[in-house]
Amino acid sequence: MPVRLRLLRNVGLVLLVLLTAAPASAQVVQSMHVGAGFVLPRGFDARDKDDVLIRNFLGESLPAIPSRSDALAFEISDFRTGQVFGEWNVAFGDFIEVGAGLGFYRKSVPTVYFDLVDESGLEIEQQLRLRVVPITGLVRFLPFGGPTDVQPYVGAGISILNFQYTEAGDFVDGETLDVFPDRFRARGATLGGLLLGGVRFPLGGDIYAFGIEGRYQFGTGNTGGLEEGFLADKIDLGAGQLNFTLLIRF
């Protein structure tokens, strides 16, 4: 079994055990997390080798003009964006918390061919768009303090990453150099993993808390490859996140 699948399986088993084996005597507290933050996609060197963004960024030599490529002029960092999310949590005592959440982020990146222009000498323009809606299940471990204290924590979880990736605009046929308008879209859902850590600061008692949390999600979606008009089979959805949250306990 691949390492990633083993990790996802083990995290899922931990979530299940914590939900079913928590002692009945433990104090159960429900809470709601809402927040916003930043999404930082995986860097060039860390991305899946079959990632469509890497393929578009690097390009390949054109059969009609081997000295030129079909590379697009953008950076992976252009896909940095903001996100919003909400989460429902159940805490068993002071040290273990299980949650389920929903997030949303998207980014549209304008680009052009790096080496090519049309017959009039004008840039050949496209838009690359990525939208992700993560549905997450996770567990947090809060080893120090209580609701009225500053609480650092770590955690892990699994995500269903609902994604849509689109390339729209004008494109060049590598054999004939004809320019044609088109729109290619890949969408689906893929299972991913999640690691996190953060700290909470109480706001006037044990009901409200402000938090800063870092996350790292990983997962890879399928584009359909050449049959769907894309030059690579995968879209790497791995990303770091920095979130600012408000916790309300009930």
- What is the reported pTM? 0.86
The predicted-structure confidence for 44-100, as pLDDT tens digits, reads as follows: 999 988 999 999 999 999 998 998 999 999 999 999 999 999 999 999 888 899 999
Q: Is residue 226 part of a domain?
A: yes
Q: Is residue 24 part of a domain?
A: no
Q: Is residue 10 part of a domain?
A: yes
Q: Is residue 196 part of a domain?
A: yes
Q: Is residue 142 part of a domain?
A: yes
Q: How many domains does the chain have?
A: 1
Q: Is residue 122 part of a domain?
A: yes
Instruction: Collapse the DSSP code of 48 into the 3-class scheme (helix H, G, I; strand E, B; otherwise coil) and give the result.
Output: coil
Structure tokens at 188: 């689906």
Computed over every residue of the chain, the mean pLDDT equals 89
Read off the amino acid at residue 46. A
Report the CATH number that the domain containing residue 202 is assigned in CATH: 2.40.160.20
Model confidence at 16, in pLDDT bands (50, 70, 90)? low
DSSP 127-191: EEEEEEEEEEEEEEE--S--TTS-EEEEEEEEEEEEEEEEEEEEEE-TTT--EEEEEEEEEEEEE
- Average pLDDT of the segment spanning 237-246: 96
| Domain boundaries, position 7 | 3-19+29-249
How many CB atoms are located within 10 Å of the residue 135 CB? 14
The predicted-structure confidence for 165-200, as pLDDT tens digits, reads as follows: 999 999 999 899 999 999 999 999 999 999 999 999
Q: Is residue 191 part of a domain?
A: yes
Q: Which of 6-10, 21-25, 158-162, 228-232 has the lowest mean pLDDT?
A: 21-25
Q: Is the pLDDT of residue 19 over 70?
A: no
Q: Is residue 65 part of a domain?
A: yes
Residue 18: what pLDDT? 47
Please state, in angstroms and rounded to a whole number, the distance separating the CA atoms of residues 226 and 230: 5
Check residue 67 and report its DSSP letter.
T
β-pairing, 239-249 vs 96-117, is: unpaired
Residue 206: what pLDDT? 77
